[in-house]
Chain A
């Protein structure tokens, strides 16, 4: 989902050094010995916990993912090697016990589980589902765009049948709805808790939800306490409908400095450390006390070139840049090998992905020829925009500058503060920029190209091509899988030829934990850890 937008690398604002490593509460001392407490080192504090309108960082999304639940969820499957993953393309009932599609594929009916309860004990019925979706549509919540894409344009398409049954009506049959549903943006909320906070000034109780979730959770955990700047604590939700979580308490310690998170993990002070620098991963893999889980993620890092602004409006220039980028150095040095090269705008792991059209190996001669042909024999100069404090962006930029200088292109690296970067990227005002925050939660190629090259929202590079637009428009809402497959290949052929982006890499999602912590399941849809499966030996 594009919302991860901000999320993934807002984490990158983590700076230099500096960990808020203050420990509060007696739990910390027992990190390793207590099997009922898990201590996690996170880079960021929670920020805006309104699940349906969060602007939060990864920490916030992961928090929401663990305290809330949805009608349907990803199926957990066990692979041949025994590892378990949340399959981004397979769905099972969650709060809904079952679901049923109508024959015309335009209505899906959810039957709620019996005896569902919110964390405060209030019953959870289909009325809460209706309440939640009404609020989401009224509030223009984060998932409204996704629902509309799946042909569910307004709240009247959500039908309350009885207190056990709710139906969603689609205007046209398509396969996009479920991929949008198993996420925090569709968290079912408790009307009895949220309702009283809805006032004239704050019709959607946003002010309440953005700092609190107590009483309205229904996921495996609930919020126990939040000491801003220091830590937040989740405890097992005894009213959760599914398998109870194995570990009773999870203490999230906010430690902004990656080196400190690493040191705390190695010393055993914390059980899990998130977002560690890739340069330190080899030493962790060699450490018998640490288990490193590595999974190729579908998040994409690329360099956007504003296709409407000279010189990047010239396809030859974009191709020339694509030929000049030091792909191997970026993957081997910046990412320390913990990434795969991105060879199509549709990432590896998404159905329909193909790398057969990728031709851009580093070749300065070819790049120079293309620049001459494009009318820039002496090269040109440009800014290169990156978000401040993002180490990957910084290092990529420096290597890029070095390589581009060899074809006469002089770039000035501009580090933009968080808000400035996000404002400009959303207004499509960046000219030549690094971005590595995107992951399409819905693992569908059309969902991906729709947002990235078609809809104005997230087509940050202002790419416009009538053929591609037509192919996307014709095939996104469709049930003709053969036509979809042919079209997605054609789209990739055109995109690689036109090179609206410089394709960089798909990083591995790396999670390092103490070896006695078991049960991890990777969810490729969003990379978030579901803590309920973890247990300590």
Chain B
């Protein structure tokens, strides 16, 4: 146990040093933190109710009153982009959490019990992984119907194999490690080993993976919402907002789609910068 916590401490110390040496990753943290704060403070910062419609003012270009312009219902894009942080972060984190819990449960079960169960579970994972991800998510979202929980399930389901494989391999590596043996040697039960030794020691790579997946999940969610398979109208979700503005691009009303898309790009970039930076800890040859 002392070994484990010391390792965590070492990890976080090196993380801190690494951040100082790598402003780009620090930028990633800053973006996500900053957006998170904006999202939390949205009710204070947004000049309008994100659901308020004003047909008399529809499709106005950006101005002082409407910094990001107004949409096809006369809704204020800026306020909706702010509230969108809550929705899109929620979907991203939700999908990652869901995929992580299901995936690592499968992975750890497979790794722990081995044998036939391992074989069956991992072959199932192979089948799920055989689908092109976005297309499977699309089919699932189409089957379940549009809503935020369904969207989260659709996206998370596709990512389950990633976590399952990762956690299984980490599990196998660590189980054969010295401290697991040591713990077993002093009579710790299997569950105890799992909870206190193996999970914390698998966390670093899983955390890295989760950060990257979070960005992907937000992209996928936006894509599904864009084609109408995501959240309910008129929820201020970024993909839905882009979709509402899409038919107006050809006639030049760019702002309806532009700002929500920019918000997605910045968010995903933030998550990716963090994920990449952390991955460099494990593999310094990468960017």
Asked if A and B form a direct contact in the complex, defined as CB atoms under 8 angstroms apart, the reply is yes
Residues of A within 8 A of B (CB): 15-17, 258-259, 263, 277, 280, 329, 332-333, 388-389, 391, 394-395, 397-399, 401-402, 405, 412-417, 420
B72 interface contact, C-beta 8 A: yes
Provide a sorted-by-A list of 21 A–B residue pairs whose CB atoms are within 8 angstroms: A16-B226, A17-B247, A258-B247, A259-B247, A259-B251, A280-B251, A397-B233, A398-B53, A398-B73, A398-B234, A402-B51, A402-B52, A412-B232, A413-B234, A414-B145, A414-B232, A415-B146, A415-B228, A417-B142, A417-B145, A420-B145
Q: Mark B216-247, 1 if CB is under 8 A from A, else 0.
A: 00000000001110001110000000010011
Q: Which residue of A lies closest to B52 (CB)?
A: A402
Main secondary structure of the interface of B (DSSP, over half): loop
Question: Contact: B250 with A263, CB < 8 Å?
Answer: yes
Question: Given A16-B226, A259-B247, list of 15 further CB < 8 A pairs?
Answer: A15-B228, A16-B228, A259-B250, A332-B55, A389-B228, A391-B247, A397-B233, A399-B73, A402-B73, A413-B234, A414-B146, A415-B228, A415-B232, A416-B145, A417-B145
Closest 7 CB pairs of A and B: A333-B55, A413-B233, A402-B53, A398-B234, A259-B250, A329-B55, A413-B232
Q: Which residue of A lies closest to B232 (CB)?
A: A413
Contact partner of A395 (CB less than 8 A), chosen from B73, B243, B250, B251, is: B73
- Nearest CB in chain A: distance from B74 CB, A: 8
B175 interface contact, C-beta 8 A: no
Chain B residues numbered 73-93 whose CB sits less than 8 Å from any CB in chain A: 73
B60 interface contact, C-beta 8 A: no
Residues of A within 8 A of B51 (CB): 401-402, 405
**Interface range for B:** 20 to 34
Number of A-B contacts (CB under 8 A): 58
Known contacts A16-B246, A415-B228; is-contact A398 B145 (Cβ 8 Å): no
Question: Contact: B72 with A395, CB < 8 Å?
Answer: yes
A391 to B58 alpha-carbon distance, docked (Å): 16
Residues of B within 8 A of A388 (CB): 228
Residues of A within 8 A of B247 (CB): 16-17, 258-259, 277, 391
Q: Mark B239-263, 1 if CB is under 8 A from A, else 0.
A: 0000100110011000000000000
Residues of A within 8 A of B232 (CB): 412-415
- Nearest CB in chain B: distance from A374 CB, A: 25
A280 to B227 alpha-carbon distance, docked (Å): 22
Question: Contact: B145 with A15, CB < 8 Å?
Answer: no
Question: Contact: B227 with A16, CB < 8 Å?
Answer: yes
- Nearest CB in chain B: distance from A275 CB, A: 13
Residues of B within 8 A of A259 (CB): 247, 250-251
A415 to B225 alpha-carbon distance, docked (Å): 12
- Nearest CB in chain A: distance from B260 CB, A: 15
Residues of B within 8 A of A397 (CB): 233
Residues of A within 8 A of B146 (CB): 414-415
Residues of A within 8 A of B145 (CB): 414, 416-417, 420
Q: Which residue of A lies closest to B243 (CB)?
A: A16
Contact partner of A17 (CB less than 8 A), chosen from B72, B73, B246, is: B246
Residues of B within 8 A of A333 (CB): 55, 58, 73
